[in-house]
Structure 1
Amino acid sequence: MNRILEALPEIGKEDYSNNPPRWFRYFFKFLSALVGVGMAIWAIIDDAMPIGFYLMVCILVPSFLLFAFHPNWGLTEPPSLLANQLGMYFSPSGSLRFGQQPRKVWLFVPWENISNIRYTRIVKGEFSKGMVMDVKVSSDEIDEFFGHYGKPSDRKQSEDGRISVVFYEGGSQKLVTKLLSLMKNSGLSDQSIGTSQT
């Protein structure tokens, strides 16, 4: 049964998260500090710097350093998609009304409500590819958690209430393989699991 959760579980080494790895985020913060310090030294050393460039450096240096040394910026954003051996967790993606705050919740969908994960064409203005799955969710859950994505070109709704939804535009067949691996490791043997490419 699908559930709406107020917090994500801890992310393990075998789990999939669409956030960049923690080491990459620390490396990016280090580069930001390096650029900020470099620009500050350049502004101090270069006496012939035009006043416009000097003012721009005075704005950019604190911005780079604030990003680099602020303890939470760039490191604490939760993933919008997480998968583990229990199932998949989705963040809200529906459109908000003016003045409405986004909900900080996640939809947990167990693997038994997910099938036919595939990499296929998406209809969204122009044809592009993305990851699609057949999922058993309510219409409210579709609106809140899959609302702004395009529709798969092979969209269908089965008699048991499963509907094809796009859950990640772009991505790759490699990610589909990772998710199928997590699904199989959960002990679920689903005959409808597929990796079709359209």
Structure 2
Amino acid sequence: MNQTHAELPALSDEHYIHCLPKWLEISLRTLFGVFAMVLLVISSLQWRDMPPGFRWLCGALIAAFIFFSLYSRIWRNNIKFIADQHGLFFPCNDYLVHTVGKNSMHSWLFVPWSNVSNIRVATQKDYDGQSKCVAFNLYISPKERSDYFIHVGIPSDIKQRALNVVPVSYGDYPPNPKKTAAKLIRLKKSADSKDCPGSVADV
């Protein structure tokens, strides 16, 4: 059955973390730092000739670039889910986005492989129209859905939903949706081979 944890439990030796790759995080943070330095140099050379509005704009941009480059907490919120040989771990809504003006609830939802089905590559609607994603169905309660999946996508291939079976999709790239689906299928098969409970029917 599904379980909630105040902290992420210890993972099995073989696991997969679905998040922004470390190399891309380092590249982006470095890029923001370079932007801040370049803009700082340019604005310092032209400061006297700048109108007050441009000075405020340059100051705000420099502060923003430095913030994104140095403030590590915003980069920790890029973990979408974690998989190991026991099942999937999902962060609560407050881990996925920064919430202002409310008490944060930090917890993880564990969904065993027996409550995961139909792992696949699909498409989802986004600001670009349609994009590739990794998708699967979860057997979860309405409360679990509201606490953990408000900010998670829905695959476009679902026409009708069964009770308590929620289709979810993750369209981030990288990582590659096809490779992600293959890793999840391998972990699920590994769990099934160890006499774990059978999965719910595909929907």
- TM-score, length basis structure 2: 0.69
- TM-score, length basis structure 1: 0.70
- Name the CA shift for 1:56/1:123 in 2 (closer, same or farther; >3 Å): closer
Residue equivalent to 2:167: 166
| CA displacement, residues 88-124 of structure 1 (integer Å, 9 cap, x when unaligned) | 0123359xxx965442111101112222223346699
Superposition deviation, residue 166 in structure 1 = 2.1
- Decide whether the 8 Å contact of 2:12 with 2:85 is kept in 1: no
Unaligned runs of 5+ in 1: none
- Worse overlay, 182-191 or 39-48: 182-191
d(CA) in 1 for partners of 2:12 and 2:49? 50
**Secondary structure at 1:74 match in 2:** helix
**Secondary structure at 1:43 match in 2:** helix
- Name the CA shift for 1:140/1:61 in 2 (closer, same or farther; >3 Å): closer
Residue equivalent to 2:140: 137
In the alignment of these two chains, the number of paired residues is 186
Select the residue among 176, 182, 187 that pairs with 1:177.
Answer: 182
- Decide whether the 8 Å contact of 1:11 with 1:17 is kept in 2: no
Residue equivalent to 2:64: 63
Superposition deviation, residue 62 in structure 1 = 2.6
Residue equivalent to 1:84: 84
Residue equivalent to 2:97: none
- Decide whether the 8 Å contact of 2:85 with 2:188 is kept in 1: yes
1:38-57 matched pairs, under 5 angstroms: 38-46=38-46, 49-51=49-51, 52-57=53-58
- Decide whether the 8 Å contact of 2:92 with 2:147 is kept in 1: yes
**Secondary structure at 1:103 match in 2:** coil
Superposition deviation, residue 10 in structure 1 = 6.1
Select the residue among 108, 111, 114 that pairs with 1:109.
Answer: 111
Superposition deviation, residue 141 in structure 1 = 2.1
- Decide whether the 8 Å contact of 2:2 with 2:111 is kept in 1: yes
